[in-house]
Amino acid sequence: MNLLVIGGSNSKNSINRRFASFAASLFENAEKELVDISKLDIPLFSVDKEQEIGIPPLVLTFAEQLDKTDFIVLSLAENNGSFNVGLKNLLDWTSRIKDRKTFAGKPMLLMATSPGPRGGASVLETAKTLFPYSGAVVKATFSLPSFYQNFDMEKGITNESLLQQLKEIISNITID
């Protein structure tokens, strides 16, 4: 199985990118491809920009990655209760490709983490409601609260109960 692993943030040192990579490592027998939004130099979407330049090549590449993958692992950064602007920009551009539903009907593990005790619960809830309209099949959700208390950058989730919860969620995921 091929996984597309997306950190939903344009921060260079995104905790969500690190967390998404860790979660992906818990899938057995999977090939992983990582999307680092901080490295994608994509103009800010506007209908005027779109008319001027068309769809940027990096957005077309992202759409191809979505088309090719078997499963998406996405962890969302929460900024003021909503999406990180880098992710939103990428998704808005992708939605403008002709005849496309952004996530192309692909199954997804949708997650969020933040340094706070709610672990990005607001953006996670928003995405869980909205992403199916953009062609995502959300198979499961998971929020990791208080990132710096519960995650070690090398070892991954350090809280045994949260680690077991995530492992169980992943082992129960079925892909048609």
Ligand X SMILES: Cc1cc2nc3c(=O)[nH]c(=O)nc-3n(C[C@H](O)[C@H](O)[C@H](O)COP(=O)(O)O)c2cc1C
Which residues bind to ligand X, rule: CB under 6 A? 7, 9, 11, 14-16, 77-81, 84, 114-116, 118, 120
What's the closest the beta carbon of residue 153 comes to ligand X, in angstroms? Answer: 12
What's the closest the beta carbon of residue 39 comes to ligand X, in angstroms? Answer: 14
What's the closest the beta carbon of residue 115 comes to ligand X, in angstroms? Answer: 6
What's the closest the beta carbon of residue 9 comes to ligand X, in angstroms? Answer: 3
- Closer of 15 and 91 to ligand X (Cβ): 15
- Closer of 81 and 105 to ligand X (Cβ): 81
Q: Tell me the two tokens of residue 125.
A: 């809830």
Measure the CA angle with vertex 29, ends 110 and 171; round to 5°.
Answer: 50
- Closer of 94 and 114 to ligand X (Cβ): 114
Q: Which residues, 6+ apart, have CB-to-CB distance to 132 below 8 Å?
A: 138
**Dihedral-angle region of residue 101 (phi above 0 means left; psi in -120 to 50 means alpha; beta otherwise):** beta
- Closer of 24 and 78 to ligand X (Cβ): 78
Residues 2, 33 contacting (CB under 8 angstroms): yes
What secondary structure letter does DSSP report for 31?
A: E
Residues paired with residue 137 on neighbouring β-strands, in sequence order: 107
The residue among 149, 140, 142 whose CA lies nearest residue 117 is 149
